[in-house]
Amino acid sequence: MTDLPRLRSPAQRDCLRPRARCADRPPAAGAAPAKQPRHRRFTRKDSGVTATIESPPAAPEADGRSARSLMDLVFRARELSIGGALLVLILGTWLANPSFLDDQGIKDLLLNSSILVLLAAGQSVVVITRNIDLSVGSVVGLTAFACGSFVSGTDHSALTTVLLGIGLGVLCGLVSGLLVSFGKVPALVVTLGMLYVIQGIDHAWAHGEQINASNVPDDVLGLGSGSILGIPYLPLISAAVLAGTAYYLRTYRGGRELYAIGSNPEAARLAGIPIRRRVLAAYAFSGAVAGFAGALWLARFGTVVADAANGWELTVVSSVVVGGVAITGGVGTVWGAALGALLLTTMGSALVVLKVDSFWQQAITGVLLLAAITTDRIVNLRTTSALRKRSRR
């Protein structure tokens, strides 16, 4: 926390932009020349409102470019390093046991990770705004069961089921979102409360019953088992949601504003960003994604008990954090979060294939998580001080 004030918030940066562009004109409040190198270091794409400076100021060109490419590298390095770790893990496991990457193996990997990837995408949108949604696990459980009991013994189509799931998820997300944005209560507490409430409703409704795969219409089950060109639907759906979210976060004004809110809520407010509406939308989105995941859970497994996805909230948050989305908000991409989710699931499968004692799995996950956030922090400190030295020169 203590080093946050040093980092200029995206909204403030944005305010400074016009001044930076006309570097030949005398600076308005004496701010421009001194600050220029400072905000050039925020050329990373994913930290704030259009932080990329298309027309770089005339200041020392070569130096500026190298600073920028260094920053680019560092912040892309996050996704790169996770991708690299994932690759090493997959290759290593494959070398040790080739059956890990045969057709069935790949299919299993994709299927096992797709729901977590989906949830991670939703969660990262919330975490980017410096909030958290702990209720996702119970929303998945509730919607999976609700969709299951809705379609049991009927011949509803897969589309209806998915829409029902999304609708229910949005409802849950809106309740949390309203409490967080308009009730101004801490996100962790509210979503923890919602976790209990939704879980309680789910269990009370299910009452120990379960949804049987034999009662679920084939159309719905087909969503979980069908494939195009040998690729199952589920990972395709996750990839599509992921791509859409990433595009929105990166390109649209609303998406950039989410980063601004997470970087510095006060500055975002002063910049005129409708914080409440954006945060509410982020929660609604996270809820929608969780509801969608619930419907897909039903399609994938067919048999659903009340505590489906019980305790997943922390796994989802873990994969988001491993994926480089800062829990303090404003930093990270959904791609990173998705890679984090992939890494966690792949590691689980790899340990099974390598016949590592399954008891070790959780401990290794924990070490990985700690290593991820620690490296992040250290790299961050190093680059900040390196860049400060550079800008002093």
**Under 8 Å between Cβ of 64 and 86:** no
From the list 87, 91, 188, 270, which residue makes contact with another protein (rule: CB under 8 A)?
A: 188
Tell me if 318 contacts another protein by CB under 8 A: yes
Rounded distance between C-alpha atoms, residue 358 and residue 361, angstroms: 5
Burial 327-349 (b: 16+ CB within 10 A, else e): eebbbbbbbbbbbbbbbbbbbbb
Q: Which stretch binds another protein (CB under 8 A): 83-91, 106-114, 161-169, 376-384?
A: 376-384
From the list 66, 92, 367, 385, which residue makes contact with another protein (rule: CB under 8 A)?
A: 367
Q: Which stretch binds another protein (CB under 8 A): 105-113, 114-122, 151-159, 311-319?
A: 311-319
User: Which residue shows structure tokens 């897909």?
Assistant: 296
Rounded distance between C-alpha atoms, residue 393 and residue 229, angstroms: 57
Q: Which residue's CB is nearer to another protein, number 194 or number 298?
A: 194
Q: Which residue's CB is nearer to another protein, number 53 or number 116?
A: 116
Tell me if 200 contacts another protein by CB under 8 A: yes
Q: How far is the CB of 367 from another protein (least distance, A)?
A: 6
From the list 114, 345, 365, 383, which residue makes contact with another protein (rule: CB under 8 A)?
A: 365
Q: Which stretch binds another protein (CB under 8 A): 85-93, 196-204, 260-268, 382-390?
A: 196-204
Tell me if 290 contacts another protein by CB under 8 A: no
Q: How far is the CB of 145 from another protein (least distance, A)?
A: 13
**Under 8 Å between Cβ of 303 and 149:** no
Beta strands in the chain (DSSP E): 210-211, 227-228, 231-232, 304-305
Query: Please, which residues bridge with residue 304 across strands?
Result: 211
Tell me if 333 contacts another protein by CB under 8 A: no
Q: Which residue's CB is nearer to another protein, number 60 or number 311?
A: 311
C-alpha dihedral (174, 176, 177, 183), degrees to nearest 10 = 120
Tell me if 86 contacts another protein by CB under 8 A: no
Tell me if 220 contacts another protein by CB under 8 A: no
Structure tokens given for 343: 């890494």
Q: Which residue's CB is nearer to another protein, number 81 or number 361?
A: 361
Angle between helices 61-96 and 32-40 in degrees, nearest 10:
20
DSSP state of 26: P
**Under 8 Å between Cβ of 141 and 294:** yes
DSSP state of 6: G
Structure tokens given for 125: 């949108």
Tell me if 192 contacts another protein by CB under 8 A: yes
Tell me if 362 contacts another protein by CB under 8 A: yes
**What is the three-class DSSP state of 232?**
strand
Interface residues toward another protein, by CB under 8 A: 1-3, 132, 179, 183-186, 188-190, 192-201, 203-204, 311, 314, 317-318, 321, 327-328, 357, 359-367, 369-370, 373-374, 377-378, 381
